[in-house]
Amino acid sequence: MHCGYVKSKAELLARVLGKLKGVDAVVMLGDILDLWRADPVDALYHSSPVLEALIESGAELIYVVGNHDYHSWACRERLKSRGLITMEVYHPFYFLDGVLYTHGHLFDVWKHGVPEQAAYAIYEAIYKMGEKSVAILEHVAYRPLVLLLHVLRGLRWWNTAPRWSIFERALAEALREMSKEERSKAEQGLRELSEDLSMLADLVAPADSRLQAASAARELASRLETKPIHLDTVANLRARAPPMPSQELLELASRKAGVEARALVYGHTHEAYADEENNVYNVGCWVKEPCHYALVEDGRVKLEKA
């Protein structure tokens, strides 16, 4: 729901709860509070109507944290260890009647073999950023060419060697010259090379002239167009597409949770889908409509629109 974020549609929850009077439990799948964009006080203030509606519903409330509200769990653990709080918050799984619930951010981590400590170090760093810094991070996270341009500018600032200035200018001109379709193709290939920034600079901007830079970028896009492999990096853990086939997701989640789950319900990627054949469901997000939720009855899962 990303409460505290200006794009949150969390108020739609009242409509959902109105449809579902008498439900036994509401499982919240993480990123309920957006502590990356708002401080805890602001996030709680803006989510008050939502939280009141949940409490008044009379349902048991189960909170499984995600990457944006990970600190809800971390703080609860510290407070609970000192006897100051008893609220149950789950991380990273909740298991009930054969259905496994999780936010889903750790699928990206496990898929690429990234140490969980490294992922949470990133979450800690983002949590401490200001809202403007987070917005900048999200602006470049899925645009490798733009990210590269920022890196080159940073290198020029730290190192006055002319080559960085030349590459920066050439890349900026190439971005202006290229069409949206050309940039999209180039960025798809550049994601695969994102760990070698000097190679990226050489490939994208081998000269300081506008024409040559744009030509090189188009040539690179053409060469890489046949490579469909998409590799995420530690700096871009969040993937919008399902992190892996549904059956693999269910097996991985069951193994990590130490249970035999017959169905998996998660979110994180902001794209809702229902794979009924493999019993894997993504509830999407509540920052853009249509918003979805999963209705679970007698172990059967059905994806519904809010």
CB neighbours of 214 closer than 8 A, spacing ≥ 6? 173, 174, 177, 178
Structure tokens at 14: 């009242």
Summarised one tens digit per residue, pLDDT across range 81-133 is 777 776 678 999 999 999 999 999 888 778 767 677 777 776 777 777 777 66
Strand 99-102, strand 93-96: pairing: antiparallel
pTM of this structure: 0.69
Rounded to whole angstroms, how far apart are CA atoms 256 and 240?
22
Residues of the chain with CATH 3.60.21.10: 10-129+240-305
Angle of CA points 137, 138, 139, to nearest 5°? 90
What pLDDT was estimated at residue 43? Answer: 86
Q: Contact, 271 vs 240, CB < 8 A? A: yes
Better pLDDT: 192 or 295: 295
Rounded to whole angstroms, how far apart are CA atoms 294 and 274?
10
Name the nearest CA neighbour of 197 among 153, 257, 244, 230.
Answer: 153
What pLDDT was estimated at residue 25? Answer: 92
Q: Please give the span between the terminal C-alpha atoms of the chain, in angstroms, as a whole number.
A: 12
Q: What is the greatest pairwise CA distance in the chain?
A: 68
What's the CATH class of domain 10-129+240-305?
alpha beta
Please compute the mean of the pLDDT values over residues 173-201 and round it to a whole number.
62
Q: Contact, 291 vs 19, CB < 8 A? A: no
Report CA 209 to chain centroid distance, whole Å. Answer: 37
Q: Contact, 116 vs 106, CB < 8 A? A: yes
pLDDT surpasses 70 at 62: yes
Across the chain, what does the average pLDDT equal? 76
Structure tokens at 207: 């000269």
The 10 Å Cβ neighbour count of residue 265 is 26
Summarised one tens digit per residue, pLDDT across range 124-182 is 777 777 776 666 666 555 566 666 666 666 656 555 555 556 667 766 776 777 777 76
Summarised one tens digit per residue, pLDDT across range 204-240 is 444 444 445 445 445 544 544 433 323 333 333 344 4
Q: Contact, 32 vs 268, CB < 8 A? A: no
